[in-house]
Amino acid sequence: MLEFNLLKYVDLPHYPPLTQVVDDKDPYANDPKRHPGLTYHNRKPANAELPPSLIMDNWITPSELFFIRHHHPVPAINNPEFELDVDGKGVKPIMLTLKDLRERFPKASVTTTIQCGGNRRNEFNYDDAHKTSGIGWGYGAISNSTFSGVPLRDVLMYSGLLTPERAREIGVKHVQFKGVDGVMASIPIEKALSPYGDVLLAYEMNGELLQPEHGGPLRIIVPGHVGIRNIKWVRRVTTSDEEAEGYWQRGAAYKGFAPGIKSFDGIDISKIPSVQEQPVTSAIVEPQGGDKIEPGELLNVKGFAWSGGGRGIVRVDVSADGENWTTATLTDGAE
């Protein structure tokens, strides 16, 4: 029997104050308590993934088990005083509170998968001569949740950038995001102003207030795009003719290179496109690598597949020898 979950691409109050005393000797001292079942690669900053034993338990990942990718301590934010700045080319500068976002704009929800750009990196570390740099993720730096909030398109329209045609006319090519922690990223204007409106300024996750661990009180959700574009604790949205500056957008770690590239000598990294949409990702979760299967034993294979960029998974085939293939039964997310 073959069963494969499809990680889904898209589905079309009151904030208590967050009080936190920062320990100058340890800026991570007040990070949230975290689920002990996660596999931790680092704790300062926190970087943790779902172990294989938990990945297939729930199609919608429980919030406490959603993978964690941080670059800095979780920032201390006074939610009632939090404001989002919106500015840039063709936009009337505005500031929106969380109350504004809830009361001035219709609420929308998106069920989507977020995957770290480094997911499955450890599978490349097959020998000492070909070790990769960065966190040695297994295949658990990927999670699926329902986020709710305000479509980014609605906010940009409200601030004066009305249509994709108008954006092209005045030369707007990117929408930049900046988080409270200083992390910056951007997406193409076509994605931000899509008439399907799937990019969200999210303030809820799985039906509850978005917690600080996962970017609360406000984060960007960009379905189908690499995880780093889904900026947490977003404080500023800027329309521009350029990508966001900085390591997380223009650095080599977030660009695509040929497998044979071992050095950046002689390569103009600025000419390499930044990663946005992601390709198909699929993994066998059960059985796991190293499991011993007796000859003739009936094997139940389970795993997940995700398309990235919104293209649906239409078929998953599995083979034990590369010659004989069995088509899997698609389960959650196949509709």
Q: What is the pLDDT of residues 143-154, one digit of tens each?
A: 999 999 999 999
Residues 255 and 296 in one domain: no
In a domain, 1, yes or no: no
Residues 99 and 74 in one domain: yes
Residues 173 and 312 in one domain: no
Q: Which residues does the chain have with pLDDT short of 70?
A: 1-24, 127-129, 335
Of 239, 271, 303, the one marking the end of a domain is: 271
Residue 277, pLDDT score: 93
Segments forming the whole domain that contains residue 163: 8-271
Residue 9, pLDDT score: 33
CATH of residue 31? 3.90.420.10
Q: With b meaning 16 or more CB within 10 Å and e meaning fewer, what string describes 180-197?
A: bbebbbbbbbebbbbeeb
The full DSSP string for 55-69 is HTT-SS--GGGS-EE
Residues 234 and 296 in one domain: no
Residue 24, pLDDT score: 65
Q: Tally the domains of the chain.
A: 2
- What's the one-letter identity of residue 164? P
In a domain, 38, yes or no: yes
CB 285 within 8 A of CB 300: no
Residues 163 and 229 in one domain: yes
Beta bridge partners of 327: 317
Residue 128, pLDDT score: 65
In a domain, 276, yes or no: no
In a domain, 2, yes or no: no
In a domain, 177, yes or no: yes
Residues 181 and 67 in one domain: yes
Of 271, 297, 312, the one marking the end of a domain is: 271
Residues 296 and 194 in one domain: no
Residue 94, pLDDT score: 96
Residues 285 and 226 in one domain: no
Residues 207 and 286 in one domain: no
SS3 200: strand
CB 8 within 8 A of CB 145: no
Residue 7, pLDDT score: 44
Nearest residue to 108 via CA among 247, 249, 241, 221 = 221
Beta bridge partners of 68: 48
Residue 132, pLDDT score: 79
Residues 255 and 307 in one domain: no
Of 220, 252, 271, the one marking the end of a domain is: 271
Cα end-to-end distance, the chain, whole Å: 20
Residue 23, pLDDT score: 56
Residues 249 and 321 in one domain: no
Residues 169 and 304 in one domain: no
Residue 335, pLDDT score: 66
